[in-house]
Structure 1
């Protein structure tokens, strides 16, 4: 079901960081090719607004929404009809996420560079954001929490959520996103929700949308966040610059670094939990124990056979993006997982906390036997919108910081400027930009 790769002895020692990364399992995710698909979609939305959004929803989702913006009464109905256990679970997930994200708030910092000269870094929230919530293979109400909570904690004043209309909806929810997603929005106090999915949703956020008579349906946003399929990712890449984006998040991935102290049943269950997302989802075990690898393979066969989405999981675990990587020891395993830079990394070894502290590249790290990735997906308090495809070596997951901009405020008195004037003029002359220096000396000509 899942392939093995040996990186023991000279097989690992001979690889530099780039070659090692290229050797490890990874899903093929061709965003460049998808750009050719999404470019005409985005242009259609740009030029034809709300009518294009309806046409595209009918084409891709099999639903033609009458109202692109979900009415307030539909949001209220979704919350009223929400299963009490699900409502309680969402409420607790929101509470935990708020605890973590509220602690990420930044305060202004003022540095006195010289007497009379200060630089203040002031943190200002983005004015308006578009939050995308997937609704394809899996309808992720938890992604509403993960997008909205940090934006609200940052102080963003205008939030809009978009999620695909669901063909299976009935009654009051026909033509709208999944009712649980709508209920999560209502629970968080978000009242601007759109029945728009895919690349067209990103285009709507970037360009805004109007009806044929000029009536505004959706105002443009400054930043778009949230996970999605390859076409959502391609639209983000295409429109980056017109809008800010959080990341180009591809298929989900889990890596587990484990030694012979790990429980094979735990490891297998955790690999399956991420493989369940998507046929392109990646599940990678890095271990120095042949015995553990064998027991995990046996547990996978047994557990996959009895789980709901067995076919999807088998494709994921059997794909080129998944595998068991054998190494000489935990030290070598650390090198491998740092090169892989997983979205989710579990450490199931002896002294797991000490091993985790040495990891440099991961979207989120889950320490020990009782911190599975699925805890982070829902209720750890951490954020599950994380960098994929090795991007964790240079990018962070979604946080309050994602919605803030740092602005430097420079405040110098006349004396403070006079004291540093020669530094400015000297450097301006060195760069052959004399007018830069003259902008300083002009203030002392009288």
Structure 2
């Protein structure tokens, strides 16, 4: 089930290059990019008619209208069992509190008579994508919409693929109602991303498109970036790396390896350990757990394709492997786990110790569970309020500050051959001396 990689004797100071020893996902090879580009063009040119045709082609559903009536959202919320409603409210509170605190951070810089304020200005309209198909993800509604809300966005449109009957899961609709989504559309896949980016007769375009999805959805987001704001991370199929040793119960480590794999094919699930006995025990436990899982087929698809157990020299080597993989989720289930955090540079989110399974981050910890996959954690982080706002700088200069800095401006402008730039400072003092205020 999990393929074994024995890296002992390699890495650290051995001079070996991990790139030669470890597989890396090639997400671009998994999706025909030109086909995705053509589908985007169909929606951009054909609008609602193209969306309906593609929904029929890929989802097998004929829809007269993609829009879900607002009363259906309210009815879904009222129909939730009390326990699930309470759980959603708990997640809602924690996610919103965390991201409001993040969005509130401001910055003012004062020096030499110049005051610069950084102001976060929300976009006018945000588009969020919530996956469907293999499962319902109300948590993703909370983990995307509430960030836009915390950033100050008032107009939020949500797209999610319809099920076989042409409807969306009641839990997704209920979460959308709880979060105050402006409108919900039963549209999925590439056609949803294109509609959010370019608009149709029914779906007005958004300024930002965010949310996870399969490799096709993630590729579509990359292709529309530039025409619309898109977070830098490739938020594709789920991944996890678990670093464990003999101090961790095998069943606990095994469950945590499996928990992201059950999302289905295309992801990664790795165990990294320096204890061969731990590796054997966890692999045995994984086999037992998979047989019990109602999502056995989806889990096996991930484990068989990109499930690995890596034997390493020790904790430092394990951190080196984790940094190379740059996983979406990294779980530290070993002695002195907190000390190992300082060696981690590339991961979407790190979960420390026996009481912090990645599932806590998926639902209620606070930060968004929309995280970088496919190695993009090397340059991108979790979805944040910053993805739904722009940093605007407000510059205020006193006359004394102008006097101090104008010579430097003139010198730099002249060096670049920009006459008007230089004149904008040199002429101001001439105007002031003649009694004309600039």
| Pairwise TM-score range, normalised by the shorter structure | over 0.9
Find the counterpart in structure 1 of residue 118 from structure 2.
Answer: 121
Name stretches of at least 5 consecutive residues in structure 1 with no aligned partner: 170-174, 211-216
Displacement after TM superposition at 1:348 (Å): 0.8
Counterpart in the other structure of 2:162: 165
Residues 31 and 208 of structure 1: CA distance in aligned 2, closer, same or farther (over 3 Å): farther
Q: Deviations over 1:47-99 (max 9, x none)?
A: 22111111111111111222211111221222222233322221222122123
| 1:175-254 aligned within 5 A | 175-210=166-201, 217-246=202-231, 247-254=233-240
**Corresponding residue for residue 7 of structure 1:** 7
- The equivalent residue for 2:275 is 289
Write the mapping of 1:54-65 to structure 2, written as runs, cut at 5 A: 54-65=52-63
**1:25·1:322 contact (CA, 8 Å) conserved in 2?**
no
Moved over 4 A (4+): none
Report the secondary structure of 1:324's partner residue: strand
**What SS does structure 2 have at the residue aligned with 1:299?**
helix
Structure-2-length-normalised TM-score: 0.94
Are the counterparts in 2 of residues 26 and 322 from structure 1 also a CA contact under 8 Å?
Answer: no
Cα gap change, 1:287 to 1:21, in 2 (>3 Å): same
Q: In 1, are the aligned partners of 2:234 and 2:374 still within 8 Å (CA)?
A: no
Structure 1 length-normalised TM: 0.92
Tell me the CA shift for residue 353 of structure 1.
Answer: 1.6
Q: Give the drift of 1:11.
A: 5.2
Number of residues of Structure 1 aligned to a counterpart in Structure 2: 430
Contact kept? 1:342, 1:389, Cα under 8 Å: yes
In the alignment, what sits opposite 1:390?
Answer: 375
Counterparts in 2 of 1:31 and 1:42: CA distance versus 1, 3 Å: farther
Cα displacement (A) at 1:33 = 4.5
Deviates more, 1:409-418 or 1:23-32: 23-32
Greater CA deviation, 23-32 or 150-159?
23-32
Conserved in 1, the CA contact under 8 Å of 2:316 and 2:343?
A: no
User: Is 1:324 paired with 2:328?
Assistant: no
Residues 411-443 of structure 1: per-residue CA shift (max 9 Å, x gap): 113332222221111112222323321121121
1:104 alignment partner, SS class: helix
**Comparing 25-34 with 395-404, which one deviates more in the overlay?**
25-34
Preserved CA contact (<8 Å) 1:12 1:20? no
* Cα distance in 1 for residues equivalent to 2:19 and 2:142: 32
The residue aligned with 1:94 is 92
Question: For the residues of structure 2 that align with 1:32 and 1:389, how far apart are their CA atoms?
Answer: 12
**Offset at 1:444?**
2.0
Q: CA RMSD in A?
A: 1.8
- Match of 1:209, SS state, is coil
1:31–1:230: 8 Å Cα contact kept in structure 2?
no
Q: What is the deviation of 1:132? A: 0.3
Structure 2: state its 5+ residue gaps.
Answer: 432-438
Secondary structure of 1:105 counterpart = helix
Equivalent residue in structure 1 for 2:47, among 46, 49, 64? 49
C-alpha distance in 2, partners of 1:73/1:151? 23
Name the structure 2 match of 1:172.
none
Q: How does 1:259-408 map to 2 (within 5 A)?
A: 259-319=245-305, 321-408=306-393
Looking at structure 1, the residues matched to 331 and 49 of structure 2 have their Cα atoms a distance apart, in angstroms, of: 46
Cα distance in structure 1, aligned partners of 2:88 and 2:364? 9
> What SS class does the counterpart of residue 180 from structure 1 fall into?
helix
User: Is the 1:133–1:162 Cα contact (8 Å) retained in structure 2?
Assistant: yes
